[in-house]
Amino acid sequence: MSQPLWALPRGQRARVRDLSDALPAAQAQRLRELGFLPGAIVECVHRPAFGAPRVYAVAGACFSLEREIARRIYTEPLEESAHAS
Amino acid sequence: MPRETVLVGSPNSGKSLLFNRLTGLSQKVANFPGITVRLGRGELLGHGDEVLIDFPGTYSLAPISGEERIASDGFQAALARPELQRVLCVVDATRLGKSLSLALQVLREGARQGKDVLLVATMTDAFPPGGGAFDAAGLSVALGVPVFPVSGKTGAGLDTLRGALAGAAGVPVPPRYAELQDEALQAEAQDLMARFGAPGALLLRGQTRLDGFFLHSIFGGLAFFALMAVLFQSIFTWAAPAMDGIEAALAWGADGLVPLLPSTLLKDFVSDALFGGVGAFLVFVPQIFVLTVIVGIMEDSGYMARAAVICHRPLRVFGLTGKSFVPMLSGVACAIPGIYAARVVESPRKRWLTYLAVPLMPCSARLPVYTLLIAAFIPATPMLGGLLGLQGLAMVGLYLFGLLAGLVVTSLVSRLSPSKDDDLPFVLEMPPYRVPAWGPLLQTALRRSKDFVTKAGAVIFAVTVVVWVLGYFPNSGEDLGASWLGGLGRWIEPLFAPLGLDWRYGVAILTSFLAREVFVGTLGAIFGIEGAEENFLPLADQIQASGMGLPSGLALLVFFALALQCVSTVAVLARESGSWRLPLSMVAAYLVLAYGAAWVAFLLASALL
């Protein structure tokens, strides 16, 4: 079961599964370099109202992503036992 | 020949602060041979034969925009230079995750080109007490190159780094990096992150709490408007005493100097062209300084990234980005600091669109023109039970008209020329909140003010002299109407006739391309009134008596709201955009737009009133 990162509720964490093929190659590579690569744990830190870009923590840094990006990053829910990683 | 060291690092990694610390704020902005990216260049403090070159911050050597490609090509070109011995790669010790990919890419290039690479881990002061220290020695062993832990803020570790830079060449990069493939590189970055990265949650906690306020749906919006009000106000209030001071000093200088000059011609030139023309633009320097400091505080503290998030959605509708907000707001005071402020917009296309919007913002130079024309044409009828006069309402309307015009132009242009591949999507790092480093901040503001005076000043001086000569000869400034400028005015009169304007307004509009407020002074000179800038009413009465009607007045107002009549803005735009093409096409396009809209306003008003 996978869901887009954009759907992740505030304060919840998920594991990145895949980046959509719809993302241009250069942009996908940049996202991976920033830490959004398969296996990484992402937390939704803030969800400002009115569709503003949302803030995600990954690899110890925070990035705000707009909808067009965040809905193309697929995540899978995190099992409680995986929290330690 | 001095040895060169290049500094690279990701944005918000503290690279610029480190550069300023290492060079003792001696940064000179210089263009690197062959590329168009502005690079900082400075000598290592106490070691004049060691030159440091500061590259723009980048997350990766694999570019995703045209601008990044220029920077990355420039980096490759720099590596090929024999003078270049070393690369100093700056990583943020608190957030290794975003820095390590770049560091490994730099090591790969270093290994391929045979250059030494040093790593500098910054922000070591940010580790919370009891949160565990940064393991620089361990990282150094794992990478096979020296790693220097420093704090740009407290200065810890800087002496060791400076000593190492001044000493002999370092250890060569292990050759295994030359063959590293992208996927292996990312896996290695992940592995290093897991072993040496800071406990992320610990560092992020304080940031998350502040973001909870500044990105809050209600409080965040209120805080945003409050801060913007302070910014806008400061440009007027805090800069005003300094602006008055400059004006007074110029007047005092002119009064003292002019009588000492030997000939009338020289006297007129010095008082009109030098003090009147060039002096008029020096008045903008305090505004630029104050705005640079305030925008710098917003950037350094980390708030700018939050403001960009808040206004991203609304501005996107008009083809802009959240980061376009500050330049546009600054433009309401003066387009020049607004153009400078557009540097925060990384996407070249969005920055270009921001450049289009800024000169349409109702800047303070339009204020004298609006005041004069409103006094001349709009009756002082009280409205809303005396709360607001019709004249005040007209002023508010003109401000809204300018704002709206800017947004309409950007949304039209962005829709007519669809987005290209190099348009960066909105991925914005939320840097930690920090107390700004005041020294470098004031240094930057001073440098930018100096930059404005020397670079834009040269152009302004040249144009001022030309206009002065045209207005002064052949009759020694006795009668502007009989001067070459007056002749030119009569020659272009047919152009302004459709708007119901005669040659006098034509000349005033011509000179107002120098700076809009010159319009008032020129009309004053033409109508033979001394000191028209100080007291608007007699001139307004003259204009009324000259038989010009309300439709022409409205046409003039519309024209001034839209036309790009400001030599300083054009010069700064050319400097910031790197060519004259953009500012000159903007002057032409906005002239056509302004003339067309003014003509429509004239026709409509003539038909309806």
Measured between CB atoms, which of A24, A32, A53 is closest to B426?
Answer: A53
Distance between first and last Cα of chain B: 75
In chain B, domain spans: 3-198
Contact yes or no for A48 and B309 at CB 8 A: yes
The burial class, CB within 10 Å (0-12 / 13-18 / 19+), for B505 is buried
Q: What is the ipTM for the molecules in this complex? A: 0.86
Residue-range domains of chain A with CATH: 3-79 (2.30.30.90)
Average pLDDT over all residues of chain B: 80
| Relative orientation angle of helices B325-333 and B285-301, to the nearest 10 degrees | 160
Contact yes or no for A48 and B216 at CB 8 A: yes
* Distant-in-sequence, close-in-space partners of B331: CB < 8 Å, separation ≥ 6: B338, B339, B357, B358, B359, B360, B361, B363, B406
pLDDT of residue B531: 43
Which residue in A13, A23, A30, A37 has the most chain B C-beta atoms within 10 A of its own C-beta, making it the best mutation to test that interface? Answer: A30
Residue B29 phi, psi dihedral angles, 5° rounding: -80, 125
Find the helix or strand (DSSP H, E) in which B324 lies.
none
Distance between first and last Cα of chain A: 20
| Cα B580 to the center of its chain, rounded Å | 17
B204 in contact with chain A, both atoms CB, cutoff 8 A = yes
pLDDT of residue B33: 38
pLDDT tens-digit profile of B63-96?
A: 776 667 777 888 888 888 888 888 999 998 888 8
Residue with tokens 């590596």: B79
- Between B498 and B300, the more confident residue is B498
* Distant-in-sequence, close-in-space partners of B220: CB < 8 Å, separation ≥ 6: A48, B213, B214, B306, B310
CA distances to A36, B101, B145, B177, B178 from B181, rounded to whole Å, are: 19, 12, 19, 9, 9
- The one-letter amino acid code at B434 reads R
Strand B427-429's sheet: what is its strand order? A3-4, A73-77, A13-19, A41-46, A54-58, A61-65, B427-429
Whether residue B169 is predicted with pLDDT greater than 80 in this model: the reply is no
Whether residue B463 is predicted with pLDDT greater than 50 in this model: the reply is yes
Percentage of chain B modeled with pLDDT above 70: 86
B198 in contact with chain A, both atoms CB, cutoff 8 A = yes
pLDDT tens-digit profile of B197-210?
A: 776 555 666 777 88
Residues pairing with B383 in the sheet: B388
Q: Closest residue of A to B311, CA-based? A: A52
Chain A nearest C-alpha distance from B414 (Å): 18
B46-55, B374-383, B449-458, B571-580: range with lowest mean pLDDT:
B449-458
Strands B116-122 and B147-149: parallel
DSSP strands (E only) in B402-496: 427-429
Residue B383 and residue B389 in contact, taking contact as beta carbons nearer than 8 Å: yes
pLDDT tens-digit profile of B98-137?
A: 788 899 999 999 898 888 899 999 887 777 655 567 788 8
| Relative orientation angle of helices B325-333 and B390-416, to the nearest 10 degrees | 140
Which superfamily is assigned to B3-198 in CATH?
A: P-loop containing nucleotide triphosphate hydrolases (3.40.50.300)
Residue with tokens 């302070």: B230
DSSP B334-377: -HHHHHHHGGG--SHHHHHHHHHHGGGS--TTHHHHHHHHHHHH
Which of B344-353, B467-476, B565-574 is the most confident on average?
B565-574
Chain A residues in contact with B193 by the CB 8 A cut-off are: 35, 59-60
Which residue in B61, B65, B98 has the most chain A C-beta atoms within 10 A of its own C-beta, making it the best mutation to test that interface? Answer: B98
Chain A residues in contact with B182 by the CB 8 A cut-off are: 29
pLDDT of residue B536: 54
Percentage of chain B modeled with pLDDT above 90: 12
pLDDT of residue B35: 37
- Between B584 and B159, the more confident residue is B584
Contact yes or no for A46 and B425 at CB 8 A: no
Whether residue A73 is predicted with pLDDT greater than 90 in this model: the reply is yes
Chain B nearest C-alpha distance from A61 (Å): 6
Residue B171 phi, psi dihedral angles, 5° rounding: -85, 140
pLDDT of residue B106: 92
pLDDT of residue B254: 80
The burial class, CB within 10 Å (0-12 / 13-18 / 19+), for A74 is middle
CA distances to A2, A58, A74, B423, B424 from A20, rounded to whole Å, are: 12, 18, 7, 19, 17
| Cα A77 to the center of its chain, rounded Å | 11
Residue B580 and residue B588 in contact, taking contact as beta carbons nearer than 8 Å: no
pLDDT of residue B32: 39
Query: d(Cα A19, Cα A35) in Å, to the nearest integer?
Result: 12
Chain A residues in contact with B63 by the CB 8 A cut-off are: 26
Calculate mean pLDDT across residues B480-493. Answer: 81
Chain B nearest C-alpha distance from A26 (Å): 6
How many CB pairs (< 8 A) connect A and B? 119
Provide the 8-state DSSP code for B226.
Answer: H
pLDDT tens-digit profile of B354-409?
A: 999 999 998 877 877 887 888 888 877 777 666 667 877 888 888 889 989 999 99
pTM for the whole structure: 0.73
Whether residue B287 is predicted with pLDDT greater than 60 in this model: the reply is yes
Contact yes or no for B426 and A27 at CB 8 A: no
- The one-letter amino acid code at B516 reads R
pLDDT tens-digit profile of B2-46?
A: 788 888 888 778 887 888 888 876 554 433 333 345 567 788 887
